[in-house]
Structure 1
Amino acid sequence: MAKIASHKELTVWKNAMDAAMRIFEVTRSFPVEEKYSMVDQIRRSSRSVAANLAEAWRRRRYEAAFPANLNDAEAEASEVQTGIERAFRCGSINQETAPELDETYEPIIGPIVTMIRQPGTWTVDRRSGGER
């Protein structure tokens, strides 16, 4: 595996950022009465996935913190999927867009789960100051 210098090089982070931007665009057309409830919640969760991945990357020196932040990212991604379903059921997202958005999060959740299951592959050895 090539050495990754920044969380911005992680494919999963890039996918999470792209998904958050897609959520932002789609929620622009939601009804105004949902602006401070459904829109705020789904946007916050979508932004949080990438933010938690970035935080996990910077905390990979600490074996307990790394998977904890990844767990948060996974939970937020699942929360976005729930928000997508709720928006679909409320009629804010159409039948074509809802599954497309939902499926966007599967290739994000999968790598997060893999990283959680194999933290030693990603964490930094504090004794030597380098990657394991």
Structure 2
Amino acid sequence: MKIGFVSRKGAVRALMAEAIARKLLQDAGIKAEIYSAGLEPERSTPREVIEVLREKGYLTRGLYPKPLRKIPYKQLDVLVILDNEIKEKCEFVPSHKRRENLAIEEPKSLSIPELRRLRDKIEQELRELFKLEAKSSK
């Protein structure tokens, strides 16, 4: 299965979704290739994004904002659009099996508390999207 996450800039929400989905699906025993992209990608990944992902054990190696043409968007099984403002712009992406729209707002700042809330929201949304149970922390 190939899953792609797309946001406008591709440096925060899409990257977080890529890292989170990789771990959640791997922990659930689901084999998947996960990608992220931005329609107007930033040049780099904010260090704060990497920091909050690592806090929860998400792997960040190789995460960087990239344009849609740098991922195999024509072969995606699932395309997840992370914001409403680009939904119409992604109509050309042929995702024949499944297309999802998650309205996850761009963070107002790159503060650690703001990014933690965003990370946790994305994790919750992806658990619901892929019907995954939350692990109990004992």
TM-score by length of 1: 0.28
Give the structure with the higher percent helix.
Answer: 1
TM-score by length of 2: 0.27
| Larger of the two Rg values belongs to structure | 1
